[in-house]
Structure 1
Amino acid sequence: MVSESPMDPREEVIQAWYMDDSDEDQRLPHHKEPKELVSLKQLDELGVVSWRLDADNYETDEELKKIREARGYSYMDFCEVCPEKLPNYDEKIKHFYEEHLHTDEEIRYCVSGSGYFDVRDRNDKWIRIWVKKGAMIVLPAGSYHRFTLDSDNYIKAMRLFVGDPVWTPHNRPNDDLPARKEYLMNFVNKGDTQQSVDAAA
Protein backbone atom coordinates (compact mmCIF):
# COMPACT_ATOMS: atom_id res chain seq x y z
CA MET A 1 0.00 0.00 0.00
CA VAL A 2 1.33 3.44 -0.95
CA SER A 3 1.44 5.81 2.00
CA GLU A 4 0.29 9.36 1.35
CA SER A 5 3.14 11.80 1.01
CA PRO A 6 3.36 14.17 3.97
CA MET A 7 1.88 17.61 3.44
CA ASP A 8 4.29 20.26 2.24
CA PRO A 9 4.69 22.61 5.25
CA ARG A 10 4.32 25.59 2.88
CA GLU A 11 0.67 24.62 2.31
CA GLU A 12 -0.22 25.83 5.82
CA VAL A 13 0.82 29.39 4.95
CA ILE A 14 0.43 29.56 1.15
CA GLN A 15 -2.69 28.59 -0.80
CA ALA A 16 -3.52 29.34 -4.42
CA TRP A 17 -6.55 29.13 -6.70
CA TYR A 18 -7.94 30.40 -9.99
CA MET A 19 -9.97 33.59 -9.62
CA ASP A 20 -13.50 34.29 -10.77
CA ASP A 21 -14.31 37.29 -12.99
CA SER A 22 -16.37 39.15 -10.41
CA ASP A 23 -15.84 42.88 -9.84
CA GLU A 24 -16.71 42.59 -6.16
CA ASP A 25 -14.36 43.87 -3.45
CA GLN A 26 -10.77 42.91 -4.39
CA ARG A 27 -10.15 41.78 -0.79
CA LEU A 28 -12.63 38.88 -1.08
CA PRO A 29 -11.20 35.43 -1.95
CA HIS A 30 -12.73 35.39 -5.48
CA HIS A 31 -12.87 31.60 -5.72
CA LYS A 32 -14.39 30.12 -8.87
CA GLU A 33 -17.46 27.94 -8.46
CA PRO A 34 -16.58 25.08 -8.06
CA LYS A 35 -13.19 25.98 -6.56
CA GLU A 36 -10.13 25.43 -8.77
CA LEU A 37 -7.11 25.07 -6.54
CA VAL A 38 -3.55 25.55 -7.78
CA SER A 39 -0.69 23.48 -6.36
CA LEU A 40 2.67 24.80 -5.18
CA LYS A 41 4.22 22.74 -7.99
CA GLN A 42 2.16 24.69 -10.54
CA LEU A 43 3.39 27.93 -8.95
CA ASP A 44 6.99 26.64 -9.12
CA GLU A 45 6.48 26.05 -12.86
CA LEU A 46 5.54 29.72 -13.26
CA GLY A 47 8.75 30.72 -11.49
CA VAL A 48 7.05 31.55 -8.18
CA VAL A 49 9.41 30.27 -5.46
CA SER A 50 8.30 29.95 -1.83
CA TRP A 51 9.34 28.84 1.64
CA ARG A 52 7.74 28.45 5.04
CA LEU A 53 9.84 30.15 7.70
CA ASP A 54 9.66 30.87 11.43
CA ALA A 55 8.15 34.37 11.44
CA ASP A 56 8.41 34.70 15.23
CA ASN A 57 12.20 34.46 15.04
CA TYR A 58 13.08 36.13 11.74
CA GLU A 59 15.92 38.11 13.36
CA THR A 60 17.85 34.94 14.25
CA ASP A 61 16.45 32.45 11.72
CA GLU A 62 19.31 30.46 10.19
CA GLU A 63 17.17 29.29 7.27
CA LEU A 64 16.34 32.87 6.28
CA LYS A 65 20.04 33.73 6.56
CA LYS A 66 20.93 30.83 4.23
CA ILE A 67 18.29 31.88 1.66
CA ARG A 68 19.51 35.48 1.73
CA GLU A 69 23.14 34.40 1.26
CA ALA A 70 22.34 31.87 -1.49
CA ARG A 71 20.19 34.31 -3.47
CA GLY A 72 22.16 37.49 -2.76
CA TYR A 73 19.39 39.36 -0.91
CA SER A 74 21.55 42.06 0.66
CA TYR A 75 18.84 44.70 1.19
CA MET A 76 16.00 44.32 3.69
CA ASP A 77 13.26 46.54 5.10
CA PHE A 78 9.66 46.21 6.33
CA CYS A 79 6.38 47.41 4.92
CA GLU A 80 3.15 47.52 6.95
CA VAL A 81 0.03 47.74 4.84
CA CYS A 82 -3.11 48.72 6.75
CA PRO A 83 -5.32 51.82 6.94
CA GLU A 84 -3.65 53.03 10.19
CA LYS A 85 -0.01 52.64 9.17
CA LEU A 86 0.18 53.36 5.43
CA PRO A 87 -0.04 57.02 4.37
CA ASN A 88 -2.54 57.55 1.49
CA TYR A 89 -3.81 54.03 2.14
CA ASP A 90 -6.75 54.04 -0.33
CA GLU A 91 -4.63 55.41 -3.15
CA LYS A 92 -1.73 53.01 -2.42
CA ILE A 93 -3.92 49.90 -2.28
CA LYS A 94 -5.44 50.81 -5.67
CA HIS A 95 -1.93 51.36 -7.01
CA PHE A 96 -0.70 47.95 -5.72
CA TYR A 97 -3.68 46.30 -7.43
CA GLU A 98 -2.84 47.62 -10.90
CA GLU A 99 -1.34 44.86 -13.01
CA HIS A 100 2.40 45.45 -13.36
CA LEU A 101 5.81 43.85 -13.55
CA HIS A 102 9.26 44.65 -12.18
CA THR A 103 12.63 44.25 -13.85
CA ASP A 104 13.85 42.45 -10.69
CA GLU A 105 12.35 39.78 -8.48
CA GLU A 106 9.70 40.81 -5.96
CA ILE A 107 10.54 39.14 -2.65
CA ARG A 108 8.10 39.33 0.25
CA TYR A 109 8.21 37.54 3.60
CA CYS A 110 4.96 37.80 5.57
CA VAL A 111 5.94 38.15 9.23
CA SER A 112 2.42 39.07 10.38
CA GLY A 113 -1.08 39.26 8.90
CA SER A 114 -1.94 38.06 5.38
CA GLY A 115 -2.65 39.20 1.83
CA TYR A 116 -3.10 38.19 -1.80
CA PHE A 117 -0.58 38.20 -4.64
CA ASP A 118 -2.25 37.58 -7.99
CA VAL A 119 -0.15 36.21 -10.86
CA ARG A 120 -0.94 35.25 -14.44
CA ASP A 121 -0.72 31.64 -15.60
CA ARG A 122 0.58 30.61 -19.05
CA ASN A 123 -2.85 31.29 -20.58
CA ASP A 124 -3.08 34.74 -18.98
CA LYS A 125 -5.63 33.63 -16.34
CA TRP A 126 -5.38 35.06 -12.83
CA ILE A 127 -4.16 32.85 -9.99
CA ARG A 128 -4.67 34.23 -6.48
CA ILE A 129 -1.93 33.34 -3.96
CA TRP A 130 -2.88 33.77 -0.32
CA VAL A 131 0.17 34.33 1.88
CA LYS A 132 -0.05 34.15 5.64
CA LYS A 133 2.38 34.60 8.53
CA GLY A 134 5.53 32.56 7.84
CA ALA A 135 5.24 32.56 4.03
CA MET A 136 8.10 33.87 1.94
CA ILE A 137 7.41 34.26 -1.76
CA VAL A 138 9.45 35.32 -4.80
CA LEU A 139 7.70 36.60 -7.92
CA PRO A 140 10.11 36.41 -10.85
CA ALA A 141 11.30 39.48 -12.73
CA GLY A 142 9.12 40.14 -15.77
CA SER A 143 5.99 38.40 -14.43
CA TYR A 144 2.73 40.36 -14.40
CA HIS A 145 1.17 40.49 -10.95
CA ARG A 146 -0.69 42.65 -8.43
CA PHE A 147 -1.22 42.76 -4.67
CA THR A 148 -4.13 43.39 -2.32
CA LEU A 149 -4.92 42.87 1.32
CA ASP A 150 -7.55 40.30 2.26
CA SER A 151 -10.57 41.24 4.38
CA ASP A 152 -8.42 41.34 7.58
CA ASN A 153 -6.85 44.54 6.17
CA TYR A 154 -3.35 43.95 7.57
CA ILE A 155 0.02 42.61 6.50
CA LYS A 156 3.54 43.25 7.72
CA ALA A 157 6.05 42.06 5.17
CA MET A 158 9.81 41.98 4.96
CA ARG A 159 10.95 43.24 1.57
CA LEU A 160 14.21 41.79 0.28
CA PHE A 161 16.30 42.82 -2.66
CA VAL A 162 19.56 42.11 -4.45
CA GLY A 163 21.65 45.30 -4.13
CA ASP A 164 19.97 48.71 -4.02
CA PRO A 165 16.18 48.43 -4.24
CA VAL A 166 14.34 49.58 -7.34
CA TRP A 167 10.61 49.55 -6.63
CA THR A 168 9.52 50.82 -10.06
CA PRO A 169 6.34 49.12 -11.29
CA HIS A 170 5.89 48.89 -15.07
CA ASN A 171 2.15 48.72 -15.68
CA ARG A 172 0.83 46.36 -18.33
CA PRO A 173 1.41 46.36 -21.28
CA ASN A 174 5.21 46.39 -21.08
CA ASP A 175 6.10 43.37 -23.19
CA ASP A 176 9.18 44.96 -24.79
CA LEU A 177 11.18 45.06 -21.56
CA PRO A 178 14.09 42.56 -21.55
CA ALA A 179 12.89 41.20 -18.16
CA ARG A 180 9.49 40.38 -19.70
CA LYS A 181 11.01 38.66 -22.72
CA GLU A 182 13.30 36.64 -20.47
CA TYR A 183 10.40 35.61 -18.25
CA LEU A 184 8.35 34.46 -21.26
CA MET A 185 11.32 32.48 -22.59
CA ASN A 186 12.11 30.81 -19.24
CA PHE A 187 8.61 30.04 -17.95
CA VAL A 188 5.80 30.62 -20.43
CA ASN A 189 7.10 29.43 -23.80
CA LYS A 190 9.32 26.73 -22.31
CA GLY A 191 6.66 24.02 -22.71
CA ASP A 192 5.95 25.05 -26.33
CA THR A 193 9.52 24.47 -27.49
CA GLN A 194 9.61 21.16 -25.60
CA GLN A 195 6.39 19.99 -27.30
CA SER A 196 7.68 20.89 -30.77
CA VAL A 197 10.90 18.97 -30.04
CA ASP A 198 8.85 15.97 -28.90
CA ALA A 199 6.67 16.15 -32.01
CA ALA A 200 9.72 16.25 -34.25
CA ALA A 201 11.39 13.30 -32.52
Structure 2
Amino acid sequence: MVQAWFMNKDEEGDQREERQCDPPRAVSLEDLKKLGVLYSYVAVDDNGKYREEGGDLHRIKEERGYNYEDTITVAPDKLPGYEEKIKSFFEEHLHTDEEIRFILDGCGYFDVRNKDDEWIRIKVVKGDLLVLPAGIYHRFTTDKTNYICANRLFVGEPVWKPHNRPADEMSARLEYLKALSTWA
Protein backbone atom coordinates (compact mmCIF):
# COMPACT_ATOMS: atom_id res chain seq x y z
CA MET A 1 0.00 0.00 0.00
CA VAL A 2 1.36 3.38 -0.95
CA GLN A 3 2.44 5.71 1.85
CA ALA A 4 1.94 9.48 1.77
CA TRP A 5 2.51 12.27 4.29
CA PHE A 6 2.84 16.01 4.66
CA MET A 7 6.46 17.06 4.38
CA ASN A 8 8.25 19.16 6.93
CA LYS A 9 8.93 22.69 5.77
CA ASP A 10 12.73 22.28 5.93
CA GLU A 11 14.02 22.35 2.36
CA GLU A 12 17.62 21.99 3.52
CA GLY A 13 19.43 18.69 3.46
CA ASP A 14 19.19 15.61 1.30
CA GLN A 15 16.13 15.55 -0.98
CA ARG A 16 16.17 11.73 -0.71
CA GLU A 17 15.24 11.77 3.00
CA GLU A 18 11.66 10.98 4.05
CA ARG A 19 11.18 14.54 5.37
CA GLN A 20 8.23 13.67 7.59
CA CYS A 21 6.73 16.22 9.96
CA ASP A 22 7.25 15.75 13.70
CA PRO A 23 4.81 14.34 14.64
CA PRO A 24 4.08 12.63 11.31
CA ARG A 25 0.95 13.70 9.41
CA ALA A 26 -0.27 10.89 7.15
CA VAL A 27 -2.22 11.52 3.93
CA SER A 28 -4.86 8.99 2.89
CA LEU A 29 -5.58 7.62 -0.57
CA GLU A 30 -8.90 9.48 -0.39
CA ASP A 31 -7.04 12.75 0.23
CA LEU A 32 -4.79 12.05 -2.76
CA LYS A 33 -7.82 11.28 -4.90
CA LYS A 34 -9.25 14.71 -4.03
CA LEU A 35 -6.12 16.15 -5.68
CA GLY A 36 -6.66 13.99 -8.77
CA VAL A 37 -3.80 11.64 -7.82
CA LEU A 38 -4.77 8.03 -8.46
CA TYR A 39 -3.15 4.89 -7.07
CA SER A 40 -3.35 1.19 -7.88
CA TYR A 41 -1.31 -1.80 -6.82
CA VAL A 42 -0.18 -4.33 -9.44
CA ALA A 43 1.65 -7.47 -8.27
CA VAL A 44 5.23 -7.71 -9.56
CA ASP A 45 7.38 -10.79 -9.00
CA ASP A 46 11.06 -10.81 -7.99
CA ASN A 47 12.11 -10.67 -11.66
CA GLY A 48 10.10 -7.50 -12.34
CA LYS A 49 7.42 -9.42 -14.22
CA TYR A 50 3.70 -8.80 -13.88
CA ARG A 51 0.60 -10.33 -15.35
CA GLU A 52 -0.23 -8.37 -18.48
CA GLU A 53 -3.19 -10.02 -20.19
CA GLY A 54 -6.31 -9.98 -18.04
CA GLY A 55 -4.47 -8.47 -15.09
CA ASP A 56 -4.98 -5.18 -13.27
CA LEU A 57 -2.44 -3.31 -15.42
CA HIS A 58 -4.21 -4.46 -18.59
CA ARG A 59 -7.54 -3.24 -17.17
CA ILE A 60 -6.07 0.14 -16.18
CA LYS A 61 -4.46 0.60 -19.61
CA GLU A 62 -7.79 -0.17 -21.30
CA GLU A 63 -9.80 2.14 -19.02
CA ARG A 64 -7.43 5.10 -19.36
CA GLY A 65 -6.42 4.60 -23.00
CA TYR A 66 -2.69 4.07 -22.40
CA ASN A 67 -1.23 2.76 -25.63
CA TYR A 68 2.49 3.53 -25.32
CA GLU A 69 4.98 2.55 -22.65
CA ASP A 70 8.67 2.35 -22.03
CA THR A 71 10.89 1.54 -19.08
CA ILE A 72 13.26 3.90 -17.31
CA THR A 73 15.89 2.95 -14.77
CA VAL A 74 17.00 5.87 -12.63
CA ALA A 75 20.37 4.94 -11.14
CA PRO A 76 23.89 6.38 -11.43
CA ASP A 77 25.13 3.47 -13.57
CA LYS A 78 21.98 3.17 -15.72
CA LEU A 79 20.92 6.73 -16.60
CA PRO A 80 23.39 8.88 -18.56
CA GLY A 81 23.81 12.25 -16.86
CA TYR A 82 22.26 10.88 -13.66
CA GLU A 83 23.22 13.82 -11.40
CA GLU A 84 21.80 16.40 -13.82
CA LYS A 85 18.66 14.33 -14.47
CA ILE A 86 17.86 13.78 -10.80
CA LYS A 87 18.24 17.53 -10.16
CA SER A 88 15.89 18.34 -13.07
CA PHE A 89 13.33 15.75 -11.88
CA PHE A 90 13.33 17.52 -8.48
CA GLU A 91 12.55 20.94 -9.96
CA GLU A 92 8.91 21.77 -9.29
CA HIS A 93 7.02 21.44 -12.58
CA LEU A 94 3.84 20.32 -14.31
CA HIS A 95 3.02 18.48 -17.51
CA THR A 96 0.28 19.01 -20.09
CA ASP A 97 -0.56 15.28 -19.92
CA GLU A 98 -0.96 12.81 -17.07
CA GLU A 99 2.23 11.39 -15.61
CA ILE A 100 1.85 7.64 -15.08
CA ARG A 101 4.51 5.56 -13.38
CA PHE A 102 4.32 1.83 -12.65
CA ILE A 103 7.17 0.87 -10.32
CA LEU A 104 8.91 -2.38 -11.24
CA ASP A 105 11.70 -2.19 -8.66
CA GLY A 106 13.37 0.20 -6.24
CA CYS A 107 11.94 3.16 -4.36
CA GLY A 108 11.35 6.86 -4.86
CA TYR A 109 9.24 9.84 -3.88
CA PHE A 110 6.77 11.94 -5.82
CA ASP A 111 6.01 15.26 -4.13
CA VAL A 112 2.74 17.01 -5.02
CA ARG A 113 1.18 20.27 -3.87
CA ASN A 114 -2.21 20.25 -2.13
CA LYS A 115 -4.87 22.99 -2.34
CA ASP A 116 -3.06 24.99 0.37
CA ASP A 117 0.25 24.73 -1.52
CA GLU A 118 1.72 22.33 1.05
CA TRP A 119 3.99 19.52 -0.07
CA ILE A 120 2.77 15.94 0.20
CA ARG A 121 5.39 13.23 -0.24
CA ILE A 122 4.25 9.96 -1.85
CA LYS A 123 6.56 6.97 -1.43
CA VAL A 124 6.43 4.54 -4.35
CA VAL A 125 7.83 1.00 -4.36
CA LYS A 126 7.57 -2.13 -6.51
CA GLY A 127 3.98 -2.71 -7.62
CA ASP A 128 2.77 0.87 -7.13
CA LEU A 129 1.08 2.53 -10.09
CA LEU A 130 0.68 6.28 -9.64
CA VAL A 131 -1.22 8.66 -11.93
CA LEU A 132 -0.57 12.39 -11.52
CA PRO A 133 -3.10 14.57 -13.36
CA ALA A 134 -2.05 17.06 -16.01
CA GLY A 135 -1.46 20.47 -14.47
CA ILE A 136 -0.50 19.38 -10.93
CA TYR A 137 2.75 20.81 -9.59
CA HIS A 138 5.06 17.99 -8.61
CA ARG A 139 8.64 16.74 -8.46
CA PHE A 140 10.44 13.41 -8.11
CA THR A 141 13.49 11.94 -6.43
CA THR A 142 14.84 8.52 -5.60
CA ASP A 143 15.36 7.48 -2.01
CA LYS A 144 18.88 6.99 -0.63
CA THR A 145 19.37 3.78 -2.64
CA ASN A 146 19.57 5.94 -5.80
CA TYR A 147 17.62 3.32 -7.70
CA ILE A 148 14.17 2.96 -9.20
CA CYS A 149 12.91 1.18 -12.30
CA ALA A 150 9.52 2.17 -13.71
CA ASN A 151 7.28 1.78 -16.71
CA ARG A 152 6.14 5.12 -18.08
CA LEU A 153 2.71 4.96 -19.69
CA PHE A 154 1.17 7.42 -22.14
CA VAL A 155 -1.92 8.11 -24.20
CA GLY A 156 -0.61 8.56 -27.74
CA GLU A 157 2.88 9.84 -28.35
CA PRO A 158 4.91 10.53 -25.20
CA VAL A 159 5.22 14.13 -24.06
CA TRP A 160 8.37 14.64 -21.99
CA LYS A 161 8.38 18.41 -21.57
CA PRO A 162 8.22 19.68 -17.99
CA HIS A 163 7.01 23.24 -17.42
CA ASN A 164 8.74 24.61 -14.34
CA ARG A 165 6.82 26.67 -11.82
CA PRO A 166 5.47 29.27 -12.31
CA ALA A 167 3.24 27.98 -15.07
CA ASP A 168 -0.03 29.19 -13.57
CA GLU A 169 -1.43 30.57 -16.83
CA MET A 170 -0.96 27.37 -18.83
CA SER A 171 -4.24 25.77 -19.90
CA ALA A 172 -3.26 22.44 -18.25
CA ARG A 173 -2.84 24.24 -14.92
CA LEU A 174 -6.10 26.19 -15.27
CA GLU A 175 -8.00 23.01 -16.18
CA TYR A 176 -6.46 21.20 -13.22
CA LEU A 177 -7.54 23.95 -10.80
CA LYS A 178 -11.05 23.87 -12.23
CA ALA A 179 -11.22 20.06 -11.87
CA LEU A 180 -10.14 20.20 -8.20
CA SER A 181 -13.63 21.23 -7.15
CA THR A 182 -15.13 18.15 -8.81
CA TRP A 183 -12.75 15.76 -6.99
CA ALA A 184 -13.36 17.18 -3.51
Q: Is the TM-score greater than 0.5?
A: yes
Residues 143-154 of structure 1: matches in 2 within 5 Å? Answer: 143-154=136-147
Q: Name the CA distance, whole Å, in 2 between partners of 1:68 and 1:135.
A: 14
The one-letter code of the counterpart of 1:143 is I
* Pairing 1:35–2:24 present: yes
Partner of 1:16: 4
From 43, 55, 80, the counterpart of 1:87? 80
Partner of 1:126: 119
Moved over 3 A (4+): none
Once the two structures are TM-superposed, the CA of residue 59 in structure 1 deviates from its matched residue by 5.2
The one-letter code of the counterpart of 2:109 is Y
| Larger Rg computed on CA atoms | 1
Secondary structure of the corresponding residue to residue 29 of structure 1: coil
Structure with greater helix share of residues: 1
TM-score by length of 2: 0.94
RMSD between aligned residues: 1.4
Once the two structures are TM-superposed, the CA of residue 66 in structure 1 deviates from its matched residue by 1.1
Once the two structures are TM-superposed, the CA of residue 60 in structure 1 deviates from its matched residue by 2.8
1:95-143 alpha-carbon deviations (Å, 9 max, x no partner): 0000000000000000101100000000000000000100000000000
Secondary structure of the corresponding residue to residue 118 of structure 1: strand
Mean Cα deviation higher: 49-58 or 124-133: 49-58
Partner of 2:52: 60
Partner of 1:110: 103
Q: Name the CA distance, whole Å, in 2 between partners of 1:163 and 1:59.
A: 23
Secondary structure of the corresponding residue to residue 159 of structure 1: strand
Structure 2 gaps, min length 5 = none
The one-letter code of the counterpart of 2:52 is T
Partner of 1:160: 153
Mean Cα deviation higher: 18-27 or 117-126: 18-27
Mean Cα deviation higher: 48-57 or 80-89: 48-57
TM-score by length of 1: 0.86
Partner of 1:72: 65
Q: Name the CA distance, whole Å, in 2 between partners of 1:109 and 1:77.
A: 10
Q: Name the CA distance, whole Å, in 2 between partners of 1:21 and 1:44.
A: 23
Once the two structures are TM-superposed, the CA of residue 21 in structure 1 deviates from its matched residue by 1.9
Partner of 1:26: 15
1:6-32 alpha-carbon deviations (Å, 9 max, x no partner): xxxxx2xx1000111221100000011
Q: Does the C-alpha gap of structure 1 residues 60 and 181 become closer, same or farther in structure 2, counting only changes over 3 Å?
A: same
Q: Name the CA distance, whole Å, in 1 between partners of 2:19 and 2:68.
A: 34
The one-letter code of the counterpart of 1:153 is N
Identity %: 54
Aligned length: 179
Structure 1 gaps, min length 5 = 1-10, 195-201
